[in-house]
Structure 1
């Protein structure tokens, strides 16, 4: 099986601030990108392809030096190169990879919009406290940026910067938006949204 990936980025960043008149400082940022993916399967098995475009738009208000309020809207739009709801005729399987650029739990949704970030953050020199919908990067939960919309979480998060090379962090989460989905789920609901891995030692019927 061959895979072809093409990733285009167009980041942009806008600032609006006047610190001499007010301690309130606003920042508008975002990213637009397109992602083309093509899976070429062996023999008569169906080939899959998809082109996604979208990104995110984020606005953050900074009150003084310590308090921040932010929100971000994420989007992934299917450009319609192929109907991903039609499975392979031999295996009855849908695309495992191309569908991941959209909401794989609702492939008929051609334009996924998700309010992925909505948070209040308080920051000191070495401490950061965040409450709400956020994007975090840990060994267990990370954005997985190989998808159009990353993994996002909701809850409380604390980070302590012990040294330039050392960080301690922990949190309490009540909801999560796994990558390749279009909404937040409770922790229990989010388990099982992806199928188990495949192995050459397992027959087609058992997959």
Structure 2
């Protein structure tokens, strides 16, 4: 009798273990690298490259679409230069000094926490297309003629293509990015850039 109970318990725990292995988490973690530059503009140049950690959470899955929330801490390394010094108007205090300072090439670092929503369309068993919109607060460490130093926001609209290989998913993601401070600081012209990202994520 004891042997039958022991065998029954072993069988029961084996089934539980298999069921746990079959169950899939709604979370995935990943890492993206991207780069880009401003749209053709006669007033300034802005080039950037950035690194993003990615945390995905699948909210819902239907027969045709998957819906995900995405959290993206990001560090962005940019270079900026004013081309058209007339952008700094004579009405500004110390405008000559600002023209000289802003027309020099300078480094701009941005620290961002993007919060996004993603709609994915699976294609076959391993590929998918998606659209992604995100917005998040950021800290900008360098004053330019277009942006005050300090608090701002980053808005991103992206499309992407993914290929899944077992628990890994590989991404290519073109995007458009706008950065401004929503009027919280004096200078708020912001930057507009076109970017492309490459990433990999792992389903938990």
TM-score, length-scaled by structure 1: 0.30
Larger radius of gyration, structure 1 or 2?
2
Q: Which has the higher strand share?
A: 2
TM-score, length-scaled by structure 2: 0.30
